[in-house]
Homo-oligomer: A and B are copies of this chain.
């Protein structure tokens, strides 16, 4: 579980991946809700499904740096 210094940079870069990806999805989801308020529920569930894909890879990248 010891982590070398350079591996930590990899973990940080993987976290940035989640930041960019989920940030862009969430940003557009908010705007979509504003334009179609009655679609609130469907937009939120779709955003969560897509965000889960980004989350999975990002967390995998952070964990990979720990091994």
Contacts and interface: CB of A to CB of B under 8 A. Distances in A.
Given A8-B64, A19-B20, 20 more contacts: A3-B65, A9-B9, A9-B10, A15-B18, A15-B61, A19-B19, A19-B57, A20-B21, A21-B26, A22-B53, A24-B24, A26-B54, A27-B27, A30-B31, A30-B43, A31-B34, A33-B36, A55-B57, A56-B59, A66-B67
Contacts of A15: 13-14, 17-18, 57-58, 60-62
Q: Please give me the 6 A-B residue pairs with the lowest Cβ-Cβ distance, nearest first.
A: A12-B13, A8-B10, A5-B6, A17-B19, A19-B21, A15-B61
Contact of A62 (B33, B34, B36, B61): B61
